[in-house]
Structure formats: structure tokens, C-alpha cells
Amino acid sequence: MIKQLGHVCLLTEDLEKTADFYCHGLGLEKVFDFEKEGSWFGFYLRTGNNSFIEVFEGKTGQPGSIIHLCLEVDDIDATIGEIRGRGIEVGDKKLGADNNYQAWLEDPNGVKIELMQYLPDNCQQTGRTCLVNW
């Protein structure tokens, strides 16, 4: 079932300033970058063990908005089955660009929740750039 918080995803209108704040100001380690259509699009920060902050460039009504929260799970298929068995809608499992399994649901307030099962050769562990196409 659920192991721990995997990551929280933030939006920023200034990647450089945000990276400087978290890396130099708070001393967090940048694990890898996201690249979209040849441009820097975001990054991942380690907050301890397998917990992270994910940051993407984007515009919303409120900069710094939380886009979703991610819960790390030990077995995504079993977790999806258990949650569906409780009458909650969960999307199907898919392989994400960072090479991890994921599935999505929403809380009653519309907050998106990502369930993630880390796989051995993922960007969080290897540090390689994650190329996205969404």
C-alpha cells in the first residue's frame, strides 16, 4: 500500500530563481532536469531518501501553486485494486517519462493525487534528464 509521500509538484514562472532558492538558499540537491522540446522545463529536488519536490515552469492564477501530490506505493497494481475496491475512481497504470509506474486520482476537492511505484532504472535514481512529450 502507501509507503510515503513521493513528491509535491510546484509551478513557477521563474525556474532560475526557484532553483536558486531551493538549491542555494535551502541547500537541497537538484537530482535531474526536465526537458521539453529542447528547453529546460523543470527539475526534481531531493528532500530526503525517496521524497522530492518537483518543479515545472508554468503560468497559473497563483505562482507557486501546488499541481499535485504524489504518494509512493510498494505495488501499484495491488494499490489500484484496493482503492477501486473502496469505490474510488483511479486511472489505469502507465509508465511515466521518468521510468516509473503511475496512476492518478482526485480527492473530493479536486486535488490531483499521483500514485507512483519506483522502478530500478528511474530518473530519480540515475539523475538523467527526463524528456517529456506532454
Bigger pLDDT: 107 or 84? 84
Distances (CA, A) of 114 to 15, 31, 76, 122: 23, 20, 11, 16
* pLDDT tens figures, 35-47: 999 999 999 999 8
Query: 60 CB contacts (<8 Å, ≥6 apart)?
Result: 11
Residue 13 has pLDDT above 90, yes or no: no
> What's the CATH code of the domain at 120?
3.10.180.10
The total of structural domains in the chain comes to 1
DSSP 5-70: EEEEEEEES-HHHHHIIIIIIS-PEEEEEEEETTEEEEEEEEEETTEEEEEEE---SSTT-EEEEE
* pLDDT tens figures, 65-81: 677 889 899 999 999 99
Write out the residue range of the structural domain in which residue 71 sits: 2-132
